[in-house]
């Protein structure tokens, strides 16, 4: 598939810059792959579009306030996005891998002074642009993130994150800290939506995939199959494994919430590994093994997440749905409206 096939014209004014006052009031475009029909709805009506025995699988990752600002000892300003803890073979105990924005490449042992006086030190690089940093002075990087970190909103939201975003850019069921960005298809769920689902006999389960830079790195390869995704950590809990087995046994459907939940489920289905790093890039031609339906937001052109949606519903159907959403002035991307693909 050529990169140009991931293109469409997204009017800038449709990129949502803030969430609605009530999460579940977002619009929901329902695409039925079999009939190729489109239906306009609202997210709080989700249960009406599903059926008894279905299982909704949510990504319970929690977004970290992972953005840190520091100064080099020479005085230069540095911006860090703490991506994840370094593995045992990547760096010393307590080390983290970061994304960095600075005018010059940092050398090994460079010290970075945070506004609260704590210092980080570069111990090497996991890959170009990914320094491995450790904390000095006995304070863990996890503690520094909680004390001094700020939320990093996506680049297409043209404002600084405010206090409200700490709640708005977090699912109501977030439980396991580790993501640098929210699993945004899950932002629309509320206690009322969960009650309506339970009343309709629709169960829920969780997986964890800590969303990192791999999800957001733009596809640049002319033939998208040549694109390599940076790996992200996932895990499938025993209770979720059992819930999926039960759902399959009774003839229910697996409804994956978001591309991250979908990638975690399909990674497990392919490898049999219930946890580990996955760099699975799902694009048209992929054969899904677990996900029967998917809830997702509307995505940027030329992205891995749009390629996944096209793999699931077909390029022509996704582009037709996107044209319909644009015609009806749906709100796009992280704080935007949602789509249910059946």
User: Looking at residue 108, what is its pLDDT?
Assistant: 87
User: Is the separation of the CB atoms in 324 and 29 below 8 Å?
Assistant: yes
User: Looking at residue 73, what is its pLDDT?
Assistant: 86
Q: Which of 300, 270, 275, 299 is nearest to 286 (CA)?
A: 270
User: Looking at residue 38, what is its pLDDT?
Assistant: 98
User: Looking at residue 111, what is its pLDDT?
Assistant: 93
Region for residue 201 given its phi and psi (left: phi exceeds 0; alpha: psi -120 to 50; beta: otherwise): left
User: Looking at residue 224, what is its pLDDT?
Assistant: 97
The model's pLDDT over 252-296, given as tens digits with 9 standing for 90+, comes to: 999 999 999 999 999 999 999 999 999 999 999 999 999 999 999
User: Looking at residue 129, what is its pLDDT?
Assistant: 83
pLDDT band at 89 (very low <50, low <70, confident <90, very high): confident
Arithmetic mean of pLDDT over the chain: 96
From-to residues of CATH 2.40.10.240 in the chain:
67-148
Q: Tokens at residue 114, please?
A: 């945070």
The model's pLDDT over 103-124, given as tens digits with 9 standing for 90+, comes to: 788 888 999 999 888 899 999 9
182 vs 179: CA distance, rounded Å: 7
Q: Which CATH architecture has domain 67-148?
A: Beta Barrel (2.40)
pLDDT band at 322 (very low <50, low <70, confident <90, very high): very high
15 vs 319: CA distance, rounded Å: 17
* Cross-strand partners of 38: 31
User: Is the separation of the CB atoms in 295 and 257 below 8 Å?
Assistant: yes
User: Looking at residue 330, what is its pLDDT?
Assistant: 98
- Single pTM value for the model: 0.95
User: Looking at residue 116, what is its pLDDT?
Assistant: 82
The model's pLDDT over 164-194, given as tens digits with 9 standing for 90+, comes to: 999 999 999 999 999 999 999 999 999 999 9
165 vs 181: CA distance, rounded Å: 12
| Cα angle 284, 313, 271; round to 5 | 55
Across the range 142-163, mean pLDDT stands at 94
Across the range 38-57, mean pLDDT stands at 98
333 vs 216: CA distance, rounded Å: 12
User: Is the separation of the CB atoms in 74 and 40 below 8 Å?
Assistant: no
pLDDT band at 127 (very low <50, low <70, confident <90, very high): confident
pLDDT band at 102 (very low <50, low <70, confident <90, very high): confident
From-to residues of CATH 3.40.1780.10 in the chain:
3-63+163-341
User: Is the separation of the CB atoms in 206 and 258 below 8 Å?
Assistant: no
The model's pLDDT over 204-242, given as tens digits with 9 standing for 90+, comes to: 999 999 999 989 888 999 999 999 999 999 999 999 999
Q: Which of 87, 83, 93, 80 is nearest to 63 (CA)?
A: 83
Cβ neighbours of residue 35 under 8 Å, at least 6 residues apart? none
In this structure, which topology does domain 3-63+163-341 adopt according to CATH? QueA-like (3.40.1780)
pLDDT band at 76 (very low <50, low <70, confident <90, very high): confident
Burial of 75 (0-12, 13-18, 19+ CB in 10 A): exposed
């Amino acid at each position: 598939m050529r990169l140009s096939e991931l293109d469409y014209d997204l009017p800038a004014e449709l990129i949502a810059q803030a969430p609605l006052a009530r999460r579940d009031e977002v619009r929901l475009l329902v695409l039925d792959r079999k009939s190729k029909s489109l239906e306009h709805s609202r997210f709080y009506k989700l249960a009406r579009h599903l059926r008894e025995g279905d299982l909704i699988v949510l990504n319970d990752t929690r977004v970290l306030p992972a953005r840190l600002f520091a100064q080099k000892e020479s005085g230069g300003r540095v911006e860090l996005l703490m991506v994840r803890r370094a593995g045992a073979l990547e760096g010393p105990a307590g080390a983290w891998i970061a994304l960095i924005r600075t005018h010059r490449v940092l050398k090994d042992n460079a010290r970075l002074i945070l506004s609260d006086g704590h210092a980080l030190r570069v111990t090497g690089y996991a890959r170009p642009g990914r320094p491995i940093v450790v904390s000095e002075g006995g304070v863990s990087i996890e503690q520094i993130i909680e004390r001094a970190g700020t939320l990093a909103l996506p680049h297409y939201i043209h404002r600084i994150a405010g206090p409200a975003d700490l709640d708005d850019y977090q699912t109501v069921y977030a439980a396991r800290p580790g993501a640098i960005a929210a699993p945004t298809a899950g932002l629309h769920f509320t206690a009322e939506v969960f009650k309506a689902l339970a009343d309709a006999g629709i169960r829920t389960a969780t997986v964890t995939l800590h969303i990192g830079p791999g999800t957001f790195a733009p596809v640049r390869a002319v033939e998208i199959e040549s694109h390599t995704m940076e790996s992200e950590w996932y895990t499938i809990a025993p209770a979720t494994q059992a819930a999926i087995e039960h759902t399959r046994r009774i003839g229910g459907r697996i409804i994956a919430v978001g591309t991250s939940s979908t990638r975690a489920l399909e990674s497990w289905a392919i490898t049999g590994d219930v946890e580990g790093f996955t760099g699975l890039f799902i694009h048209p031609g992929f054969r899904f093994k677990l996900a029967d339906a998917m809830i997702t937001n509307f995505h940027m052109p030329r992205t891995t997440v749009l390629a996944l949606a096209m793999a699931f519903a077909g390029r022509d159907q996704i582009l037709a749905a996107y044209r319909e959403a644009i015609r009806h002035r749906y709100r796009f991307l992280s704080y935007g409206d949602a789509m249910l693909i059946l």
